[in-house]
Chains A and B, each alone.
Chain A
Amino acid sequence: MKLSNRTKVMEQGEMTLAERMYLPAIVGGMATTLKHFFSKPVTIRYPEQKRYLGPIFRGQHILKKDEQGAERCTACGLCAVACPAEAISMVAAERKPGEEKLYREEKYAKVYEVNMLRCIFCGLCEEACPKEAIFLRHDTMVPVFNSRDEVIYGKDKLVEKMDQRYLRDGWK
């Protein structure tokens, strides 16, 4: 049974003397290989060499602090409920008197965890955040894991360091 009428019957004729000798074809193939020695390589030597990540690249998560160094996150849970991969979990706690410089709001995230194996880097958490606290960095990728213990990123890895702040074009 024919499914379509596009079938084409191929017929192979008798090979010529040059074809039967194979040598011209081998030389031709070698020439192609040789040409590639001198052309520009299409791959790069990652991780020594790194490609340019665009300005809207979504890389590693960061929990921003404000100008005074207080954490912006208030553990409202909107990132976790927006997350399609359910990678985010958090535990909230109440700010105690005297901690006003550490946390901006009355409530803060005592534990904030992102499971990097689950995360699909869609950026919905960034979009859901009402406090502009979580961002996906455009300049840093999540490094390769070597063991399962490394995949859950806690606040120690996520919270912005004040001496190396993360800024984007258009931000103050």
Chain B
Amino acid sequence: MKVTIDNITLEVEQGTTIMQAARQIGPEIAPPAMCYYEPLKASGGKCRGCLVKVTAGSEKDPRPMPKLVPACLTQVQDGMIVENTINEEVLETRRGIVEFLLLNHPLDCPVCDQAGECHLQDFSFEHGVSNTRTAEERNTFEPTDLGPNIQLHMNRCILCYRCVYTADQITDGRVHGVMNRGDHAEISTYIGKAIDNDFSGNIIDVCPVGALTDKTYRFKSRVWFSKPVEAHCDCEKCSGQVTLWYKGDEVIRVTGRKNQWGEVKEFICNTCRFDRKKTAEWTIDGPTQISRHSVISANKYGANLIQPAFPISQAARDYKLINDDRDRSFLTDQIKLEAKK
């Protein structure tokens, strides 16, 4: 099947969604995903962050689709033409989507443990506007206790349902879910239950915002002060493939390994996540590859040094060749010297 996304044509298999096709091209083309999570079945379609414009439905029926369609749910058809970042309507809509997602989201990034690896931060940085138009009070919820390991900040939740799907598909027996409807919807456990399943910690990894965070990591450090290292261990419950986050010599956090879309492919158990926090319990595979533009690689010297894109492009643009046609005849001796060498 032939599909064209942002003027780039590629061949994909039948049944591929626009999102998966765009991700095959690369991160510049891929639409943002706040709720779609590839390893989880039926996820997607909640946040509307990935809306794209289909200017030609298929080869047989080249009429454009009347409205923007979610890229994570729409399957490609042969000859489909999709516009993502080159369509002004899409970008305008995304600005609106960011505004909707941030309607009730508190501005507590300085406090939030997710800051620096938060998908909502990235999304609003790339697609949002810097000022707010609302004067109304934001929704606030009473703090709910989800058990000894997981901290819930309902105020930050964007209701993406990822954690609900994780609990359904990874663990046996979900004890939490989304209660109430509309503006009152909130993540909560069934009365008197704590989330204590062996794989429940994965809901921390799948959460795109800081609504579900690790209690053992709470306020220990900021993400960009810690150093991620890939490691593995022999665990009878899970694959044991994890990322260790170091601060100095101390392991302050253990997470699953995330790919470039921020998705964990191999879910890890709670013993690995919350209890194994000594270097001796792990076999270290090597440093995690972090994008050089990520704040996580800030102040860490080496190969992935941050290259500030704007000043470099500005310097390249404003570069002027210096007029240097002085008389250099007296330098002939010097040139001869160099030739001799």
Binding site for B on A (CB under 8 A): 1-3, 74-78, 80-81, 86, 92-94, 105-107, 130-131
A97-B240 Cα distance, complex, nearest whole Å: 38
The chain B residue with its CB closest to the CB of A130 is B110
Chain A residues touching B, majority SS: loop
Which of B109, B299, B330 is the one whose CB lies under 8 Å from A81?
A: B299
- Contacts A74-B110, A81-B298, A81-B299 hold; do A1 and B333 have CB atoms under 8 A apart? yes
CB pair A92 B219 closer than 8 Å: yes
CB pair B225 A77 closer than 8 Å: yes
- Contacts A105-B110, A130-B110 hold; do A93 and B219 have CB atoms under 8 A apart? yes
Instruction: Collect the chain A residues with CB atoms within 8 Å of residue B218's CB.
Output: 94
Distance from A109 Cβ to chain B, minimum over Cβ atoms (Å) = 10
Instruction: Collect the chain A residues with CB atoms within 8 Å of residue B333's CB.
Output: 1
CB pair B222 A77 closer than 8 Å: yes
CB pair B330 A76 closer than 8 Å: no
- Contacts A81-B295, A94-B218 hold; do A2 and B224 have CB atoms under 8 A apart? no
The chain B residue with its CB closest to the CB of A76 is B110
The chain B residue with its CB closest to the CB of A105 is B111
Chain B residues touching A, majority SS: loop
- Contacts A76-B110, A76-B115, A130-B110 hold; do A1 and B219 have CB atoms under 8 A apart? no
A7-B305 Cα distance, complex, nearest whole Å: 49
Which of A1, A2, A3, A106 is the one whose CB lies under 8 Å from B111?
A: A106
Contact string against A for B residues 86-128, beta-carbon threshold 8 Å, 1 for contact and 0 otherwise: 0000000000000000000000111100010000000000000
Distance from B253 Cβ to chain A, minimum over Cβ atoms (Å) = 14
Instruction: Collect the chain B residues with CB atoms within 8 Å of residue A92's CB.
Output: 219-221
A1-B219 Cα distance, complex, nearest whole Å: 69
CB pair B219 A77 closer than 8 Å: no
Distance from B310 Cβ to chain A, minimum over Cβ atoms (Å) = 16
A10-B158 Cα distance, complex, nearest whole Å: 84
A sample of 26 inter-chain contacts (CB < 8 A) reads: A1-B330, A1-B333, A3-B330, A74-B110, A75-B219, A76-B109, A76-B111, A76-B115, A76-B222, A77-B221, A77-B222, A78-B110, A80-B225, A81-B222, A81-B225, A81-B295, A81-B298, A86-B299, A92-B219, A93-B219, A94-B219, A106-B108, A107-B110, A107-B219, A130-B109, A131-B110
| Count of chain B residues near A, Cβ 8 A | 17
* B182-232 CB contacts (< 8 Å) to partner A: 218-222, 224-225
A107-B333 Cα distance, complex, nearest whole Å: 69
A105-B109 Cα distance, complex, nearest whole Å: 12
Distance from B42 Cβ to chain A, minimum over Cβ atoms (Å) = 35
Distance from B331 Cβ to chain A, minimum over Cβ atoms (Å) = 10
- Contacts A74-B110, A92-B219, A130-B110 hold; do A2 and B295 have CB atoms under 8 A apart? no
Instruction: Collect the chain A residues with CB atoms within 8 Å of residue B298's CB.
Output: 81
CB pair A74 B299 closer than 8 Å: no
A140-B298 Cα distance, complex, nearest whole Å: 31
A130-B109 Cα distance, complex, nearest whole Å: 10
Distance from B151 Cβ to chain A, minimum over Cβ atoms (Å) = 10
The chain A residue with its CB closest to the CB of B295 is A81
Distance from A160 Cβ to chain B, minimum over Cβ atoms (Å) = 19
* B59-85 CB contacts (< 8 Å) to partner A: none
A92-B220 Cα distance, complex, nearest whole Å: 7
Instruction: Collect the chain B residues with CB atoms within 8 Å of residue A131's CB.
Output: 110
A107-B178 Cα distance, complex, nearest whole Å: 28
* B239-286 CB contacts (< 8 Å) to partner A: none
Instruction: Collect the chain B residues with CB atoms within 8 Å of residue A105's CB.
Output: 108, 110-111
Instruction: Collect the chain B residues with CB atoms within 8 Å of residue A86's CB.
Output: 299
Q: Nearest 4 pairs between A and B by C-beta? A: A76-B110, A77-B222, A92-B219, A107-B111
CB pair A77 B224 closer than 8 Å: yes
A138-B138 Cα distance, complex, nearest whole Å: 38
The chain B residue with its CB closest to the CB of A2 is B330
The chain B residue with its CB closest to the CB of A73 is B110
A2-B329 Cα distance, complex, nearest whole Å: 12
Instruction: Collect the chain A residues with CB atoms within 8 Å of residue B221's CB.
Output: 77, 92
Instruction: Collect the chain B residues with CB atoms within 8 Å of residue A3's CB.
Output: 330
A92-B109 Cα distance, complex, nearest whole Å: 14
Instruction: Collect the chain B residues with CB atoms within 8 Å of residue A130's CB.
Output: 109-110
Instruction: Collect the chain A residues with CB atoms within 8 Å of residue B115's CB.
Output: 76
* B20-56 CB contacts (< 8 Å) to partner A: none
A105-B112 Cα distance, complex, nearest whole Å: 11
Instruction: Collect the chain B residues with CB atoms within 8 Å of residue A106's CB.
Output: 108, 111
A94-B295 Cα distance, complex, nearest whole Å: 24
A94-B112 Cα distance, complex, nearest whole Å: 12
